[in-house]
Amino acid sequence: MALINKIREKSGWAVGAIAIGLGVFVVGGDLLGPNSRLLGNDTTTVGEIAGEKIDYQRFDMVFQQIKAQYEGQVQRAATESEMAMMREQAWNQLIFQIALQKEYDRLGIEVTDEELADMVQGNNIHPSVRQAFSNPQTGEFDRNQVTQYLQNLDQMGARPMWVNFEQGIHSDRIQTKYSNLLSKSVYVTAAEAKKHFEAQNTLANMKVLYVPYVSVADSAVKVTDAQLKDYFERNKELYKVEDGRSMEFVTIPVAASTEDINYFQDELKQLTEQFAAATNDSAFVNTNSDLPYDGTYLHTAELPEKLHGQLPLEEGKVYGPYSEGDTHAMFKVMDIKDGSVNTARASHILIKPENDSPEAKAAALAKAKDLLAQIKGGADFAALAAQHGTDGTAAVGGDLGYFTEGRMVPAFEKAVFGATAEGLLPAPVETEYGYHIIKITAPKSKRTYKLAAVHRSLEASETSRDQAYAIADELAGTSGSLEEFRANVKKNEALTPEQADNVGKNNVLVGNLSNARELVRWAYANDRSVGDVSPVFEINDNYVVAALTGEREKGYAKLEDVKEEVTAAVRNEVKAQQIIAKLKGASGSLDQIAANYGPDAIIREAEEVSLASGALPGLGLEPVAIGKAFGLKPGSRTAPIEGQGGVVVVELLQLTQAPEVQDLSGVKAQLANTRSSRVETNAFEAIKEKADIKDNRVRFF
């Protein structure tokens, strides 16, 4: 049975091998099925990959396999967010199965039956087979186990599982072949390795004159439509976009009213009295609490923080209710007994030496002794901890809270758990962190408590919920257009509109709204158009009404949609031209040019700059300026350069050549590894892009 379980686990791995190998992209939503009212027709096509249509059943089969594998591993039902991740994993698995298979076929890459047999029973055993059929005592692969297992497949009813397992091995091997083909195509010449080494190790000292674009007021620069269009056409590749929908929306929270709060308080009072009188505490908890009964014995450090102030607790007594936000809890002590571990509470003031020298340690110890003397003389421990403590506890007066044995460093723990009473320890305690002045606030104890806990959350009543819904329903019902939506929102001072721009079709977030998948699906429905107003959606204890304000299709952005961004870029180009024109007429040293230019010109000295870094210290990335500087002779300087954040003039002061290196094998290996990884990633992305993917999942979930 154990062996069958191993194969079951590995067959689950097989289902997700390709998706896991290529990464998981996270989106989400609720799987509603092919008959969703948002489909607009009766199609069952979830999408299309490389000309191959993916129907709902095929997608769902992959998703359910991944889901079963995951839930088998975590031993619980998957959450909605986890299922969203798994749906995206299933989609990407299909993309790469289909698109990559076409590439494998084109290149003639295959795994033969002979190879598959060799991986299972031959001389080149696949790692998954080796792991599944290893002797648990010796860890050695047992070929006889494989033979015996395969002979009894039908008797055990394990043939479908084994077929799935073999398919995973097949997919893994063929993907490995393709990856190896790509990685083996990478070659680094000695000249390339030498150039790379020199770029990293040739260092330059520079003097930089820098005039930032922000020194020129935006109002001083006029940008024409012709300039915007020209820049956009020159840089069109920077403005590729995916599908997007823009919305305005309002949220009407479902909140408890004053009447709800008063009723809840009365209910808690009655519940507390009933809890105190209850004879079967576990049954009472399971009947009246939002959380099930847990009869674990807790030592002091594990008790809820609210109970620390009530120690020592009394058996049979009810403590609380205590509130934390909208959650309220009350605790009844069912039993008290000694456990196996000591718990204590202490505060400390840590004095750290400035360094490891004997003099620094002696100074820290002297300071600790002085503070200890002040406390013994009546000074406030917490105040001195806040003033002199050198760790995170200083902000809370040195309080470490309750902790059990084994949590602190040995010397500190020995001192605390060696104490038998509250109070200040007589001398500082040295640990590897420094010197500690320690105050025992609760001496060691092995006492543990068995608690029954009733947790109740304040919730809005149906009346309050209906009132919130009525507001949302009226807004949706009386808003036939975007203009009416905005007018109605403006009339109600309690409503605050929010904007969410270019929401992707597979998003689960809309602005600050999580779990908003249904709203996204509404925005992408076939019959949706700009200006439409949504029905009421219930999202995270809010009623939400939205209006569609914009649609963006995959491809290149429209200039008007990115006008603000393009305007800023064009404005910087114009500023650069103005600054360069002013600098070109200047003469003298860089300091003189900067002085003549005015206070906006900055002079910086940059030492040990490498060509590979691409950055100037204090000024950020300026690869063009650095590249030009490395082409200079010491003492010369560049012309004014249009940089990333401003105009740059670089004067080369000194150039230190990289040392001669005889063995470039390490550099070549480093470059080869980097390129291999990049070429594989780029190939997968290219295949995905060429697959001409049509993603219609938003119609289903």
For 491-527, write each residue's pLDDT tens digit.
998 999 999 999 999 888 999 998 899 999 999 998 8
Q: 553, 573, 608 — which closes off a domain?
A: 553
Q: Has residue 326 been placed in a domain?
A: yes
Q: Has residue 669 been placed in a domain?
A: no
481, 537, 491: which is closest to 513 by C-alpha? 537
For 82-131, write each residue's pLDDT tens digit.
888 899 899 988 988 899 888 999 999 999 999 998 999 888 999 888 88
Confidence at 78, pLDDT banded by 50, 70, 90: confident
Output the pLDDT for position 8. Answer: 46
Domain containing residue 533: 243-255+461-553
Domain co-membership, 644 together with 540: no
Domain co-membership, 467 together with 421: no
Output the pLDDT for position 259. Answer: 93
For 205-248, write each residue's pLDDT tens digit.
999 999 999 999 999 999 999 999 999 999 999 999 999 999 99
CB neighbour list of residue 496: distance below 8 Å, 6 or more residues apart: 250
344, 349, 399: which is closest to 373 by C-alpha? 349
The pLDDT of residue 677 is above 80: yes
Q: Has residue 105 been placed in a domain?
A: yes
| Rounded Cα gap, residues 333 and 317, in angstroms | 6
Contact 566/180 with Cβ under 8 angstroms?
no
For 558-611, write each residue's pLDDT tens digit.
998 899 999 999 999 999 999 999 998 788 899 999 999 999 999 999 999 999
- Which range is least confidently modeled, 77-86, 348-357, 542-551, 667-676? 77-86
Q: 553, 571, 591 — which closes off a domain?
A: 553
Q: Has residue 100 been placed in a domain?
A: yes
**Angle subtended by helix axes 665-690 and 80-107, to nearest 10:** 100
What separation in angstroms does the CA of 350 have from each of 98, 389, 405, 416, 425? 62, 5, 20, 14, 14
Q: Over range 182-198, report the average pLDDT.
A: 91
Q: If DSSP codes are grouped into helix, strand and coil, which group holds residue 8?
A: helix
For 331-390, write each residue's pLDDT tens digit.
999 999 999 999 999 999 999 999 989 999 999 999 999 999 999 999 999 999 999 999
Output the pLDDT for position 4. Answer: 46
Domain co-membership, 9 together with 151: yes
Q: Over range 531-556, report the average pLDDT.
A: 94
Confidence at 144, pLDDT banded by 50, 70, 90: confident
Domain co-membership, 529 together with 604: no
Output the pLDDT for position 692. Answer: 87
Output the pLDDT for position 165. Answer: 85
Q: Has residue 607 been placed in a domain?
A: yes
Q: What letter represents residue 110's amino acid?
A: E
Q: Can you say whether the dihedral through the CA atoms of 255, 259, 265, 270 is positive or negative? A: negative
Give me the DSSP letters along 398-461: TEEEEEETTSS-HHHHHHHHH--SSEE-SS-EEETTEEEEEEEEEEEEEEEEEEEEEEEE----
Q: Has residue 701 been placed in a domain?
A: no
Output the pLDDT for position 27. Answer: 32
Q: Has residue 601 been placed in a domain?
A: yes
How many domains, in total, are found in the chain? 4
Output the pLDDT for position 37. Answer: 36
Assigned token pair, 681: 């990633």
The pLDDT of residue 9 is above 80: no
Vertex 339: Cα angle to 338 and 345 (nearest 5):
90
CB neighbour list of residue 635: distance below 8 Å, 6 or more residues apart: 651, 652, 653
Whole-model pTM: value is 0.67
Output the pLDDT for position 83. Answer: 84
Output the pLDDT for position 26. Answer: 29
Domain co-membership, 208 together with 314: no
In 185-315, where does DSSP find H-type helix?
190-201, 225-234, 258-277, 281-288, 305-308
The residue that leads in pLDDT, 439 or 4, is 439
Domain co-membership, 29 together with 59: yes
Domain co-membership, 588 together with 451: no
Give me the CATH number covering residue 618. Answer: 3.10.50
Give me the CATH number covering residue 367. Answer: 3.10.50.40
Output the pLDDT for position 142. Answer: 85
Q: Over range 267-277, report the average pLDDT.
A: 94
Domain co-membership, 432 together with 292: yes
Cα atoms in the 13 Å half-sphere on the side-chain side of 345: 15
- Which range is least confidently modeled, 151-165, 272-286, 421-435, 456-470? 151-165
Output the pLDDT for position 29. Answer: 36
Output the pLDDT for position 285. Answer: 95
- Which range is least confidently modeled, 1-15, 322-336, 340-354? 1-15
Contact 457/365 with Cβ under 8 angstroms?
no
pLDDT above 70 as % of the chain? 94
Output the pLDDT for position 39. Answer: 38
Neighbour order of strands in the sheet with 52-55 = 52-55, 45-49, 694-695
| Rounded Cα gap, residues 448 and 343, in angstroms | 9
Output the pLDDT for position 184. Answer: 87
Burial track 122-131 (b if 16+ CB lie within 10 A, e otherwise): eeebbebbee
Vertex 61: Cα angle to 60 and 62 (nearest 5):
90
Sequence-ordered strand ranges (E) for 288-326: 297-299, 318-324
Q: Share the mean pLDDT of the chain.
A: 88
Domain co-membership, 11 together with 150: yes
Domain co-membership, 482 together with 620: no
CB neighbour list of residue 131: distance below 8 Å, 6 or more residues apart: 6, 10
CB neighbour list of residue 276: distance below 8 Å, 6 or more residues apart: 317, 318, 332
Neighbours of 541 (CB within 10 A): 13
Q: Over range 537-554, report the average pLDDT.
A: 94
Domain co-membership, 297 together with 332: yes
Q: 500, 524, 553 — which closes off a domain?
A: 553
Q: What letter represents residue 337's amino acid?
A: K
| Rounded Cα gap, residues 243 and 505, in angstroms | 7
Q: Over range 546-550, report the average pLDDT.
A: 96
Q: Has residue 494 been placed in a domain?
A: yes
SS3 percent helix, strand, coil of the chain, rounded to 5, is 50, 20, 30
CB neighbour list of residue 155: distance below 8 Å, 6 or more residues apart: none
CB neighbour list of residue 97: distance below 8 Å, 6 or more residues apart: 18, 171
Domain co-membership, 519 together with 606: no
| Rounded Cα gap, residues 538 and 467, in angstroms | 14
Q: If DSSP codes are grouped into helix, strand and coil, which group holds residue 132?
A: helix
Cα–chain-centroid distance for residue 317? 44
Vertex 674: Cα angle to 668 and 678 (nearest 5):
140
Output the pLDDT for position 158. Answer: 82
Confidence at 24, pLDDT banded by 50, 70, 90: very low
Q: Over range 629-650, report the average pLDDT.
A: 93
